Homo-oligomer: A and B are copies of this chain.
Amino acid sequence: MASKAIILVCDGMADRRCLALGGLTPLQAARPKSFDWIASRGECGLMDPISPGVPPGSDTAHLAILGYDPYKHYTGRGAFEALGAGIELEPNDVAFRCNFATVNDEGIVVDRRAGRISNEDAEALSESLNDIRLVRNSDIKIMFKHTVEHRGVLVLRGEGLSRFVSDVDPHKVGVKFLYSKPLTDSPASKKTADVLNEFVETSRRVLAEHEINKRRVKCGQPPANVVLPRGAGTLPMLEKLPTKFGIRAAVIAGGAVYKGVCKAAGFEVLDVKGATGTVDTDLNAKMRAAVSAIKSYDLVFLHVKATDVVSHDRNPVKKVEIISRISEAFSTIISEVNLEDTCITITSDHTTPSELGEHTGDPVPVALYAPGARYGGTERFDEISCASGTLGRIRGVDLMPIIMNFLGKVPMYGE
């Protein structure tokens, strides 16, 4: 019986057959050695992160993989972004992902990322928005925190708020930014939409006068003259994994949302220098951090975003290269952990076909190595080979109980 578990999730790694790869999937083309090692000694299968055919979001896929039915527990993306950004959310808070963007005089969005504004500029602007005072809604406290590049998090704190409000972000350029609208008839929805609109109005005045923006205009850079909130969310009330299974759990990830989902599930967030959530992330640093963390934690969740980034960029060839690099870095884990005491799972949170550039509802391959596991018959880690493995076809919510079963941590039901 193993006492430790490592889960590697390569975001959007699962794919379809690609014309650019001679009809192979990127995993088939890459033939990643360390992943194949796990597949040939592990239980393999396909996993529907949410449900067959349903394209998962990053947040819902991770909720499911951690064992929470997303249809029951999902309360919007914003909360995970806020948690991942290190904000201690309270149960009544409503949180939003935000972009710094550029609008023209008519309020039409001309750049959703304000010219891919630098971390330094966005950080300075964010400070001026944090703790802004509203007039119409003076009872609501505003918190604003910069995360990465043009991205930030807005949290509204106070009584009588709701996450059922529409986005300010129009999700495209060439149209006006939106006024948030209540999505239900409740006073809380109406109030929250009004708070959000007042925040956007107020923040526009602050940003217009900010010296950073004055400098940006002088230098010919697009000013970050609006904040576009979207994805309202509240803190989900999850039974924490450490409580549920009696374990210590840690997450290593670059992106805020992955840290946030894990934090909501009771994981400790380990910060690794060089883990950026982009293609230039320091894979070796993350693997070394995982090897180190598994000495102090029972479960280490390791997330790599790069596979999804190149998939959204519609670059199957680059995806093959990225998969090979991750697999090579991952060999550190196989060679350094105690294989007689560790369950190692490799999977993906959703399929992102790299010739389509968006999430789809295809299942993802999963391979699970554990002492005593009933491996057999599968030699490679890819979407086709894993389909005939001993795990069969499982659901995302089943993965965590299956892993915890190998650690003897799932309570018996019945006598």
Contact = CB atoms under 8 A, between A and B. Distances in A.
A113 B103 CA distance: 75
A63 B413 CA distance: 12
A256 B237 CA distance: 42
Interface in A386-415: 387-394, 398, 400-405, 408, 410-415
A274 interface: no
Contact of A402 (B63, B361, B387): B361
Contact of A405 (B61, B361, B375, B388): B361
A16 interface: yes
A238 interface: no
Nearest to A44: B387
A59 B414 contact: yes
A408 B360 contact: yes
A398 B46 contact: no
A308 interface: no
B59 A362 contact: no
A147 to B, nearest CB: 15
Contacts of A63: 414
- Determine the main DSSP class of A at the interface with B: loop
A58 interface: yes
A394 B393 contact: yes
A107 B387 CA distance: 57
Given A17-B374, A415-B59, A410 B77 contact: no
A71 to B, nearest CB: 8
A170 interface: no
A92 B51 CA distance: 34
For A52, A55, A400, A402, which residue has the most chain B Cβ atoms within 10 angstroms? A52
Nearest to A48: B398
Given A70-B413, A231-B415, A384 B373 contact: no
A402 B51 CA distance: 9
Contact of A404 (B50, B53, B387): B53
A376 interface: yes
22 contacts: A16-B372, A46-B390, A52-B402, A53-B401, A53-B403, A53-B410, A54-B405, A56-B413, A57-B414, A57-B415, A58-B415, A60-B415, A71-B413, A74-B414, A77-B414, A353-B372, A361-B401, A361-B405, A361-B410, A376-B384, A377-B384, A387-B390
Given A77-B414, A361-B402, A393-B393, 5 more contacts: A50-B414, A52-B401, A53-B410, A54-B410, A374-B383
